[in-house]
Structure 1
Amino acid sequence: MTRTITVGLDGSSESRAAAEWAAREAALLGLPLKLVHVWEPVPAPMAQAPLLGAETQQHWTERVPREAADGIRLRHPGLEVSAEQLSGRPADVLTDAAKDAELLVVGSRALSGLGGFLVGSVALAVVAHAEQPVVLVRAGEQAADEHEMDPVGIPSSATPFRPVVLGLDIESPDEALIEFAFAAAARRNTSLRVVHGWNPPPYYAYGLATDFELHAALARRESVALAELLSPWRDKHPDVEVTEESSYGTAGNHLADASRDSSLVVVGRRVRRNPFGAHIGPVTHAVLHHSVAPVAVVPHP
């Protein structure tokens, strides 16, 4: 079966932005695009209300995916586009759809007047449970936002891509996460900015506040460890320029800052199978809410 770039579509501005991002990514990967429109059936009494008659239901179940697919075909000639209408709980349906996808893309609203996402329950549930990488795209995301400024200071799709940012925990690095980030940078013909945040062990905390030499020694240790970890990946991807940033403090804050000048932020989600359900993790959760660029969440063991 041919893998697809699959996007969740519900007719909202955020899902339309997600569909446009997914179409561009499908073109970069040379894969077909599948639009999945999820319609959640309403209770019978509500379905019989005047405002939810046959015309309204037809709009959501037929017109939305058809019109979205037609628009993408016009804007992305040559891209293979299909649309599928499914019913059920959106989070469950999209999580299931991700199993046959190379990548699942969903939308999240941008915070009004602020940077970052307003991540809804559906998007969070999909990120927490999907077995394939999931990308969250803000409402209003434009192709030009992923590119450097032109000579007059305006982002343009005619200029090079901004760097891809990878958030990396050097204590438990995952090869699938690192490979995803390098591949994303390579197909964009841009650089990879690897961001690592560190904090000292608790027994160092007091001394670190007063001992600048101790702080410098710990910082050097973290920087050396990051460089050694990335060395074989540099050899594997010699065409990708890599910059490394090992900074004291919370990784989520450093990644949110780095997102302001990136085309994509890549973070991991450790898969934990326990009776209390799936978890996203504090760093990834912070990035999802505060990044101003699209965020790819890569699940790994």
Structure 2
Amino acid sequence: MTEADDRVEVASEPRPVAVGVDGSAESLAAVEWAGAHAVSHDVPLWIVCARRKPLGAADGQEPWPQEQLHAAHRLAAGLYPSLKITEDAVCESPVKALMSVASEAGLLVLGSRGLGTVEGFVLGSVGLSVIAHTRRPVVAVRGRMPAGAAAETGPVVAGIDPHDRHADVLDFAFRTASAQRRTLRVAHAWSVRALYSYPSALPEPRMTAQAGRQAQQALEETLQPWRERFPDVTTEIWTEGAAVAPYLLQVASDATLLTIGRRPRGHPFPTRIGPVAHALLHHSPRPIALIPHA
């Protein structure tokens, strides 16, 4: 085998689904979700736990968080016996650890409210900073999915603007829906105020209906090539003149996953992720996939 062949073989290896754990219930819920996603896409699961080594501390003064890793490994192996699982303890600050892991993984999964003893691993500004700046898809999982229809048959929802960059969002959403054999619901909220020169003016029903038809047509045209690429995926189009975040929360009320786009930041600070993504991360009980785009 030539050197070029070696490069091709290595490049073709599937990237794992990585999940950060800290011993909290939220991070274990993330392990469950990440394991299911890895199984459906036939890729390995990579469980990672990090701790910040105190400045000047001698080796052995602070134990590695092996208990959290082993607990997460046992959970994933029990749920998905055929899944290839690796675990990794990283001696690094949480943000740097997660950013490094995300660069090597195909997808990074985080619990949205980590409350464990490993300082800030998936908690607050650390998780938001990683979401804002990594150029890999990140899924935030708030908690375990409830038993019932949403967990078993809930759709994948993709929130897009057909006039903005959306290819990466639709690619992730279609692939996920296809792998999990779920319906894909594509949603778009358009502003009725954009129809008027004066923001305080009330929309006329005729113009509102016309805008709705235009939005529907734009989404139909946007989805046509994706429907041809993924003929096994049943798609639905939802559109309405409404505020974006509340509308997406409504559309995804029965979803197994809500997928949206985001623009990565070039500098570690500030950790702005946009008002819609911020609102959804704080209010959606469903897992949210944030897909970077330029």
TM over 0.5: yes
Q: Please point out which of 94, 101, 108 is paired with 1:97.
A: 101
Q: Deviations over 1:4-58 (max 9, x none)?
A: 11011111111111111111111111111111111122466xx89xxxx95xx43
Q: Deviations over 1:204-255 (max 9, x none)?
A: 4558615221222222222211211112212221111111111111111111
| Structure 2 residue 185 is matched with structure 1 residue 181 | no
* Secondary structure class of the residue paired with 1:23: helix
Deviation at 1:296, TM superposition (A): 0.5
Give the aligned residue type for 1:285.
H
Contact 1:255–1:291 (8 Å) recurs in 2: no
Cα distance change, pair 259–131 in 1 and its aligned pair in 2 (3 A): same
Equivalent in the alignment of 1:86: 90
Q: Deviations over 1:231-288 (max 9, x none)?
A: 2212221111111111111111111112220000000012353796563222222211
Deviation at 1:184, TM superposition (A): 0.8
Q: Deviations over 1:59-116 (max 9, x none)?
A: x532221232233223321211111101222122101110110100000139xxxxxx
* Secondary structure class of the residue paired with 2:239: strand
Give the aligned residue type for 2:240.
S
Q: Give distance in 2, aligned partners of 1:222 and 1:249.
A: 12
Cα distance change, pair 204–39 in 1 and its aligned pair in 2 (3 A): same
Write the mapping of 1:10-49 to structure 2, written as runs, cut at 5 A. Answer: 10-42=22-54
Contact 2:26–2:142 (8 Å) recurs in 1: yes
Q: Give distance in 2, aligned partners of 1:186 and 1:205.
A: 44
Q: Say which is worse superposed, 177-186 or 267-276, in terms of deviation.
A: 267-276
* Secondary structure class of the residue paired with 1:91: helix
Contact 1:161–1:188 (8 Å) recurs in 2: no
Cα distance change, pair 188–222 in 1 and its aligned pair in 2 (3 A): same
Cα distance change, pair 166–208 in 1 and its aligned pair in 2 (3 A): farther
Cα distance change, pair 39–235 in 1 and its aligned pair in 2 (3 A): same
Q: Please point out which of 217, 220, 232 is paired with 2:225.
A: 232
* Secondary structure class of the residue paired with 2:163: coil
Q: Please point out which of 87, 95, 120 is paired with 2:124.
A: 120
Contact 1:95–1:126 (8 Å) recurs in 2: yes
Q: Give distance in 2, aligned partners of 1:137 and 1:197.
A: 24
| Structure 2 residue 30 is matched with structure 1 residue 8 | no
Contact 1:119–1:289 (8 Å) recurs in 2: no
Equivalent in the alignment of 1:287: 280
Deviation at 1:148, TM superposition (A): 1.5
Q: Give distance in 2, aligned partners of 1:10 and 1:278.
A: 22
Cα distance change, pair 274–80 in 1 and its aligned pair in 2 (3 A): closer
RMSD: 2.5
* Secondary structure class of the residue paired with 1:136: strand
* Secondary structure class of the residue paired with 1:284: helix
Deviation at 1:298, TM superposition (A): 0.5
Equivalent in the alignment of 1:148: 149
Give the aligned residue type for 1:196.
H
Deviation at 1:132, TM superposition (A): 0.8
- Structure 1 regions of 5+ residues with no counterpart? 111-117, 150-154
Contact 1:259–1:292 (8 Å) recurs in 2: no
Q: Give distance in 1, aligned partners of 2:215 and 2:108.
A: 33
Q: Say which is worse superposed, 230-239 or 164-173, in terms of deviation.
A: 230-239
* Secondary structure class of the residue paired with 1:209: coil
Deviation at 1:134, TM superposition (A): 0.3
| Structure 2 residue 263 is matched with structure 1 residue 270 | yes
* Secondary structure class of the residue paired with 1:109: coil
Q: Give distance in 1, aligned partners of 2:267 and 2:44.
A: 35
Give the aligned residue type for 2:149.
E
Equivalent in the alignment of 1:249: 242
| Structure 1 length-normalised TM | 0.82
Q: Give distance in 2, aligned partners of 1:276 and 1:10.
A: 24
Cα distance change, pair 165–210 in 1 and its aligned pair in 2 (3 A): closer
Q: Percent identity?
A: 35
